[in-house]
């Protein structure tokens, strides 16, 4: 944070600050890796702008929590809340470090862009022109998601961020909008917003085997770290020690992957004409590991038997992307089909992040029932009695609960 910026105590709702911190942290993760994918200084610069915002939010949250603490009972109840604040700050700092890899040209192999799963969707930063057909229209009227598959992730307007754009949010000339979607849709929306043509990055060449392994391990670390953050919020929201234990497992797997990653990078450096160009990979791995550590920190209160403070659960429920839990009913269309067969993300906008099998069933790996299946894919079957944790919009959560209930 800029040390010249003055931050004073304001009587603000801890719940609203925590909710905004959650939204900001998740957007920071998204944007920082997208900056790497696109090699975009513009997107990386937006990450640093948001990091400044997070610094202010965490100071205000700490001030409010200190003002609310008047007894040992208060201290015990609010300690996990402080943990959530600290974890969000760590995620913010890690995202900022990832953005600096791009801004400071620390060095990343071009194959990084080929490997990141975001390649399936494109993120672009667009400044809305005065004569844009989008200017003056609400997102609901434009219906971008339905028409083009493109979603407005966030809007920066005169220095302020709108992190939760919804159907009622109007786009104004001069807005800086972060759009995400398939390249064909992004190309159309970018042209309408700016009056200019979108130029996608050139596809990179394949890497040598050791470098390819290093890049693949980074991608897996990223996926696990993001999943760990999602599950950490789920553990807190549902006060579930079982989900928190899954976060512990994921954090340990990220640590193990980082160790293997370091070996592959060192081997690749020996075969590289310019080993310094791999320096950014090391920075990226370290920052990714910090994000997984932050997820573990979020879960610590649950793991130590400290009850989740109601303000945290309410903040998670009121954030931009919410986490919901549902049990698949025997009468549900979901029961007996795979996630892909039901096209759940398309039908509801919700992404299933974990499934717990009932004790009388087993998952696809043949393990005994009662275990969690984390990060299920399109081929993962859903069964009656499954407890499913999903992430998405509030409207999507209502639709998901309705379909899961039969």
In whole angstroms, what is the distance from residue 404 CA to residue 342 CA? 11
Is the pLDDT at 384 greater than 50? The verdict is yes
In whole angstroms, what is the distance from residue 247 CA to residue 294 CA? 10
Fold topology of 119-194: Alpha-Beta Plaits (3.30.70)
| Mean pLDDT, rounded, of the chain | 81
pLDDT tens-place string over residues 299-317: 888 888 877 777 777 777 7
In whole angstroms, what is the distance from residue 192 CA to residue 196 CA? 8
- What 8-state DSSP symbol labels residue 338? B
CB-based contact 344:334 (threshold 8 Å):
yes
pLDDT level of residue 366 (50, 70, 90 thresholds):
very low
- What 8-state DSSP symbol labels residue 273? S
pLDDT level of residue 111 (50, 70, 90 thresholds):
low
| Domain residue ranges in the chain | 14-109+207-314, 119-194, 321-404
The owner of tokens 């979603």 is: 151
End-to-end CA distance of the chain: 49
pLDDT tens-place string over residues 33-66: 888 877 788 889 989 989 998 998 888 888 888 8
Of 237 and 113, the one with more pLDDT = 237
Alpha helices in 238-362 (DSSP H): 241-271, 279-303, 310-317, 339-342, 344-348
CATH number of 14-109+207-314: 1.20.58.220
Of 245 and 73, the one with more pLDDT = 245
List the structure tokens of 129: 């022109």
Q: What are phi and psi of 152, to 5 degrees?
A: -85, 110
Furthest CA-CA distance within the chain: 62
Per-residue pLDDT, averaged over 163-176, amounts to 87
Find the helix or strand (DSSP H, E) in which 401 lies: helix 394-404
* Helices 310-317, 209-237: inter-axial angle, 10-degree rounding: 120
Is the pLDDT at 97 greater than 90? The verdict is yes
Of 1 and 306, the one with more pLDDT = 306
* The pLDDT of residue 47: 92
Question: What's the whole-model pTM score?
Answer: 0.73
Name beta bridge partners: 208.
none
- What 8-state DSSP symbol labels residue 53? H
How many CB atoms neighbour CB 385 within 10 A?
17
CB-based contact 22:316 (threshold 8 Å):
yes
Is the pLDDT at 287 greater than 90? The verdict is yes
Is the pLDDT at 233 greater than 70? The verdict is yes
Find the helix or strand (DSSP H, E) in which 157 lies: strand 151-157
Of 255, 244, 334, 267, whose CA–CA distance to 293 is shortest?
255
Buried b (16+ CB within 10 A) or exposed e, 189-201: bbebbbeeebeee
Of all residues in the chain, the percent with pLDDT exceeding 70 is 88
Half-sphere exposure of 135 (CA within 13 A, CB side): 17
Domain 321-404 class, CATH top level: alpha beta
- What 8-state DSSP symbol labels residue 64? H
Q: Do domains 119-194 and 321-404 have the same CATH topology?
A: yes
Residue 121 makes CB contacts below 8 A (sequence gap 6+) with: 180, 181, 182
In whole angstroms, what is the distance from residue 148 CA to residue 139 CA? 12
Number of residues assigned to the chain: 406
Task: Please state which of the ranges 89-103, 114-128, 166-180 shows the lowest mean pLDDT.
Answer: 114-128
Of 48, 43, 44, 47, whose CA–CA distance to 2 is shortest?
48
Task: Decide: residue 16, CB within 10 A, 0-12 exposed, 13-18 middle, 19+ buried.
Answer: middle
List the structure tokens of 304: 């130590």
């Amino acid at each position: 944070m800029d040390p010249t910026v003055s931050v004073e105590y304001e009587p603000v709702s801890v719940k609203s600050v925590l909710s905004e911190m959650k939204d900001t942290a998740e957007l920071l993760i998204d944007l920082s890796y997208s900056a790497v994918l696109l090699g975009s200084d513009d997107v990386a610069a937006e990450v640093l702008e948001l990091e400044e915002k997070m610094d202010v939010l965490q100071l205000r949250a700490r001030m409010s929590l200190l003002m609310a603490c008047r007894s040992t009972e208060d201290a015990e109840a609010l300690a996990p809340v402080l943990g959530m604040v600290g974890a969000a700050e760590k995620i913010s700092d890690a995202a900022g470090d990832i953005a600096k890899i791009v801004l400071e040209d620390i060095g990343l192999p071009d194959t990084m862009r080929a490997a990141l799963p975001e390649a399936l969707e494109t993120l672009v930063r667009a400044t809305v022109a005065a004569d844009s057909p989008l200017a003056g229209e609400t997102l609901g009227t434009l219906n971008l998601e339905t028409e083009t598959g493109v979603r407005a992730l966030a809007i920066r307007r005169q220095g302020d961020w709108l992190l939760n754009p919804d159907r009622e949010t109007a786009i104004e000339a001069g807005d800086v909008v972060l759009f995400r979607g398939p390249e064909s849709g992004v190309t159309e929306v970018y042209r309408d917003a700016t009056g200019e043509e979108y130029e996608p990055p050139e596809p990179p060449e394949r890497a040598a085997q050791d470098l390819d392994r290093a890049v693949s391990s980074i991608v897996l670390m990223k996926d696990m770290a993001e999943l760990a953050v999602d599950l950490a919020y789920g553990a807190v929201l549902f006060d579930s020690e079982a989900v928190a234990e899954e976060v512990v497992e994921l954090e340990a797997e990220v640590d193990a992957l980082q160790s293997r990653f370091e070996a592959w990078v060192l081997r690749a450096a020996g075969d590289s004409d310019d080993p310094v160009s791999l320096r950014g990979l090391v920075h990226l791995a370290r920052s990714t590991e910090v994000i997984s550590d932050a997820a573990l920190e979020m879960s610590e209160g649950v793991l130590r038997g400290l009850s989740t403070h109601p303000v945290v659960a309410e903040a998670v429920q009121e954030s931009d992307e919410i986490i919901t839990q549902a049990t698949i009913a025997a009468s549900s269309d979901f029961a007996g089909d795979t996630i892909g067969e039901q096209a759940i993300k398309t039908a509801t906008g919700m992404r299933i992040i974990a499934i717990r099998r009932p004790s009388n069933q087993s998952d696809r790996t043949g393990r005994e029932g009662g275990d969690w299946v984390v990060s299920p894919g399109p081929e993962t079957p859903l069964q009656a009695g499954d407890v499913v944790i999903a992430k998405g919009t509030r409207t999507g959560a209502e639709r998901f609960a309705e379909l899961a209930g039969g």
